Amino acid sequence: MLLLEQRIKEKNLSLTERALRCDACAIRHRGVCEVLDREELLALNRISAKKIVPKGQMILGEGDARTVFANIISGVVKLTKSLEDGRQHIIGLLFPPDFLGRAYRPDNPYFAEAATEVELCIFPTSGFERILRAHPALEHRLFELTLSELDASREWMLLLARKTAAEKVASFLLMLAKRAPALGCPHMPKPQTIRIELPLSRAEIADCLGLTIETVSRQMTRLKTAKIIELLDYREIAVPDLAKLERAAQSAH
Amino acid sequence: MLLLEQRIKEKNLSLTERALRCDACAIRHRGVCEVLDREELLALNRISAKKIVPKGQMILGEGDARTVFANIISGVVKLTKSLEDGRQHIIGLLFPPDFLGRAYRPDNPYFAEAATEVELCIFPTSGFERILRAHPALEHRLFELTLSELDASREWMLLLARKTAAEKVASFLLMLAKRAPALGCPHMPKPQTIRIELPLSRAEIADCLGLTIETVSRQMTRLKTAKIIELLDYREIAVPDLAKLERAAQSAH
DNA sequence: CGAATTGTTGAATATTCTCAACAGAGGTGG
DNA sequence: CCACCTCTGTTGAGAATATTCAACAATTCG
């Protein structure tokens, strides 16, 4: 097993090497890690392992015993829930530097899958919860992040319950524009036209919004016809005027 | 101001009296308080005040600066969010012994209103957050409760996104049967027929489910016609066979 | 008791879904 | 490199579900 070999190799790293590895990490100063001091970081680092998960692969199973916690370093993870007859819904998307995993619960309440190729910094369950208990700063930070997730999920509920198909699709694109890693160099002054890479297929977008594939597709062309977006490619769109998209997300018109 | 008088009176209570007050509380061994030891309980008690909020009155405003945290001792609180054009959605219902308030954020992300007459044990913002920081057990407990709320809100998202009107109404009634304080004596062996007191109007139920009043009404009569529920009163229903209701909540059929 | 509010029911309408056909993109093997 | 196949996305027509508008019934409150 590749994971095991990797872990053995990593066990042999010196502490200095370990600390350096975190220093070089893209999310060292973001997400859960941002509040950690040197000692806390090292404690976590000691039980962590890097893992690349290919697109489409399951990370956590719904109802399974939990196996890992993880920081998302790159890529997008989708969290889904299903009804018995197969209807499903994407209850959340995780972007870097989001944290994956449900603490203090024996089973996992949702299914987690790599929506794109994903780079993870994983922690075994028991070790992570032990460190969590021992370091209030870490637990406090995770609490804050959980509160934000709860806020976001309630915001999304309003969208699911009360927005029209047109508003839903516009809101989805807007969410991506805000949350997804920007295309191009992040230090460049923002060009007027924003390009968004869609990490999801039409089917997955439909599962995010509680719509069908066809409705998503129709609303995308509607937005294109209204000159609010340009479809550069099935997986890439351009937004010439973000304010227009914001208006479309608020009122179907 | 009534609240002020009450607070002055309460300041003069002896510590013994205070401790006794908590001992007599209906939710002393539930919710946030259940994990607190004598000392922690007293610290909280010292800054707390009882408050009765009449049905329909606002408790927290959306976007307002936060004013209080509170334990729900009795009654039901509804949390709502609105779009600019007035469309609204009930993003959550709080029953005893739920906790009300969003820690670590300057503004309140939702509107909180008494759905029925509500009895609260309120804590001023700053004092509560100070105690929260000083007592990891309290923060840990609140973290656990927040995680459960997040799980529940994601479960509800699946309902909003993928269930039919019939399934939504059945699921709503089922949720009440599980969460709302049971009618009659709680120590009595459960009668086969469960009676549920609806804490919400049809309009509020519609706002919970992302439906219109009329659709909720029609689905209620549909459930009545199918003998799954009996309408004893606009505000009270009976469920002769909970398993039937569970089936209705899973598949429209 | 009467007014106001809340809930129910019906008919027509609108939005979204379903089914179906087709188009474009991407990958594989000849 | 192209033909072929598969997978994903688009578009259209008809159907289904939920909404809107409207009238009326039941309940609550003063």
Cβ A154–B84 below 8 Å, yes or no? Answer: no
Measured in degrees and rounded to the nearest 5, phi and psi for residue B178 equal: -85, -40
Which nucleotide lies at the shortest CA–C1' distance from A221?
Answer: D10
Residues B113 and B167 placed together within one structural domain of the fold: no
* Residues contacting residue B23 through CB under 8 Å, at least 6 positions apart: none
**Higher per-residue pLDDT: A188 or B161:** B161
Task: Note whether B83 and B193 are same-domain residues.
Answer: no
- Please list the ranges in chain A whose pLDDT falls under 70: 1-20, 182-191, 252-253
Domain closes at, from B154, B181, B213 = B154
* Residue B143 and residue B172 in one domain: no
Cα nearest neighbour of B210 on chain A = A161
Residue B177's φ and ψ, nearest 5 degrees, are -60, -35
A20 and A95 together in one domain: yes
**CATH number for the domain that contains residue A14:** 2.60.120.10
Domain boundary (A97, A119, A154) is at: A154
Give the predicted TM-score (pTM) of the model.
Answer: 0.91
DSSP string covering A220-236, please? HHHHHHTTS-EEEETTE
Domain shared by A136 and A30, yes or no: yes
Shortest CB distance from A83 goes to which of B146, B160, B250? B250
Q: Work out the pLDDT band at B6, boundaries 50, 70, 90.
A: low
Amino acid at A98: D
Count of C-beta atoms within a 10 Å radius of residue B197: 16
- Residue-wise pLDDT tens digits, A49-106: 999 999 999 999 988 788 889 999 999 999 999 999 999 999 999 999 999 999 999 9
For chain B, what is the domain count? 2
Q: Please give the residue of chain B at the shortest CA–CA distance from A136.
A: B136
Is B141 in the same domain as B175?
no
Q: Are residues B109 and B36 in the same domain?
A: yes
In whole angstroms, give the CA distance from residue A232 to residue A197: 10
Q: Are residues A238 and A123 in the same domain?
A: no
| Same domain for B182 and B146 | no
pLDDT value, residue A65: 80
Contacts 24+ apart (CB under 8 A), A214-218: A215/A165, A216/A165, A216/A169, A218/A165
For residue A233, give its domain range. 163-250
CATH of the domain at A216: 1.10.10.10
Q: What phi, psi does A70 have (nearest 5°)?
A: -160, 145
Q: Does B216 touch chain A (CB under 8 A)?
A: no
